[in-house]
Amino acid sequence: MYNFSLFKNGNILFPFSLVLFEFTVYIANDMIQPSMLEVVKNFNVGIEWIPTSLTAYLAGGGCLEWFFGPLSDQRGRRSVMLIGVLFFTITCLAILLVSTIEQFIMMRFLQGIGLCFIGSVGYATIQEAFEEVMCIRIIAMMANVALIAPLLGPLAGALLINILSWQTMFLIFAFLSLISFIGLWLFMPETVKIKEKELSFTPLWKDYKKLFLDPNFMSGALATGFSNIPLLAWIALSPIILINEEKFSIFFYAILQLPIFGGLILGNIILHQFIENINILKMVNIGYKPIILGLIIAGSSAFSLIMDKVWILILGLSIYSFGLGITNACLTRLTLFTIEVSKGTVSAAMGMIGMIVFILGIEISKIAYLCGKLWALGIFNLFGGCCCLISILIFLSLQERKKSLSIK
C-alpha cells in the first residue's frame, strides 16, 4: 500500500483534484435544476421534461458502475479515471451543440456516467494510496462535498441564471472538470499492478448473482434506495412546484432549499458526534423515526385545508432529511458488510439497485404531480414512507437475527 504524506511533494493535489471532480459532477446536477425552466422554454417543450433531466443523469450514473471498478482492477485506476474525467468534460461541451430536448436529455445521460468513476475508481484509489487515518480524513472531506453540493447548487444556479445562460453553466462545469483532469494527470498515482490477461466476466457475474440472491444485502440496498427517493423527487420537482406553480422567484426557490438540505447536514453532524458511542444499528433505529414522521407530515399536505400545502411539504421534508442524514451512511455501511464479496462489487451493486429505485421513484413522482399536483405528491410521500418503513424494518430484523446467530 502507498504511504504518502498528504502535505509533501504535492500529494495534496491528487485528492484535491479528485474532490474537485466529485464536486463538479454533483454540482452539474444540482446547479442546473433551477435553469431547467429556461431549458424547456428554449426548446419549446412542456415542464414534464424538467424531472427527466435528473432521471437521465442518474440513469447514466448507474449504467456502467458495475464495469468500471473491475476494469480499473485490470487496466489500472489512473487510466480509467483520466478517461472518465475527460469524457465528462467533452460531454459538458457537446451539450452546447444540441438542438432538441431529446438530444439534451441524451447528453445529460452521458454526463451522468461521470458519477460512475467517483465511487468505483476514485474512492478505491484513495483507499489504496493513503494510510488509514489520512484516508478516513479524505473520505470524510469527499462525503462533505456530496452533502454541500445539493445545498450550494440550487443557490448558485438560482443566482447565476439571472446573469448567465444555461449554456454558460456547462462551460463552467467543463472548465472545472478540465482543471481536475490536469491535476489528476499530474498527481494521481497508479495503485494497482496492471494485468495483461483479459477481463473475465464469469467470476464477476457469480459475485453479482450471489449479491442479488442474498436477502440481507437486497433489503439493505432497497432500504437505502427507498429512503432517498423523497429527497430526489423534491430536487426534480421543486423548480416546477415553487417557480412555475407557486410563482416564487428563483432566489426564493433557492432559499427554500436551505431547511431541507440543512436538515440533511445537521443529521450528518449528529451522526458524526455520536457514532463512536452508539451502535450503528441503534443509530438506524434512532434515525428512521424522523424519516417516517417527516414523510407522514409531508404526506398530510394532501389533506390540508388550513395551512398552505407547500409549507407543510417543506416542513415534513426538512424533518425527513434530518433523519436521512443520521441513517444514510449507517445503512450504506451495514449493507456493504452484509456479505463476503469484494467491496468494490458490493458498492457497484448497491449503486445499480439504488439508481433503478431512484429512476422509478422520480418518474412515478413526476407522473403523480403532473396528474394531481400537490395532493398527489402528498399521497406519493405517504406511499414512499410506507416502502421506506417496511424495507428498513425488514433489514433491521435480518441484521438482528444475523447478530444473534453469530453470538450462538
Q: What is the pLDDT of residues 122-136, one digit of tens each?
A: 877 776 777 755 665
pTM: 0.80
The mean per-residue pLDDT over the stretch 151-176 comes to 85
Q: What is the pLDDT of residues 354-397, one digit of tens each?
A: 888 988 999 999 999 988 888 888 898 888 889 888 999 998 88
**Res 10: pLDDT:** 47
Residue 251, Cβ density class (10 Å: 0-12 exposed, 13-18 middle, ≥19 buried): middle
Domain range annotation of the chain: 1-186, 215-408
Distance, in Å, from the CA atom of 326 to the CA atom of 283, rounded to the nearest integer, reads 7
pLDDT at 405 over 80: no
Q: What is the pLDDT of residues 58-83, one digit of tens each?
A: 889 878 877 887 787 778 888 999 99
| CATH T-level topology, domain 215-408 | Growth Hormone; Chain: A; (1.20.1250)
Which range has the top average pLDDT, 2-16, 116-130, 226-240? 226-240
Radius of gyration of the CA atoms of the chain, in A: 21
Q: Which residue has the higher pLDDT, 315 or 354?
A: 315
Would 1-186 and 215-408 be classified into the same CATH topology? yes
The mean per-residue pLDDT over the stretch 152-161 comes to 76
pLDDT at 173 over 90: yes
Q: What is the pLDDT of residues 316-339, one digit of tens each?
A: 999 999 999 888 878 887 887 788
Tell me what the pLDDT averaged over the chain comes to. 84
pLDDT at 2 over 60: no
The residue assigned the cell 487496466 is: 75
Residue 339 phi/psi, 5° resolution?
A: -150, 150
Q: What is the pLDDT of residues 146-156, one digit of tens each?
A: 667 766 777 78
**Res 8: pLDDT:** 45
1-186 is classed CATH 1.20.1250.20: yes
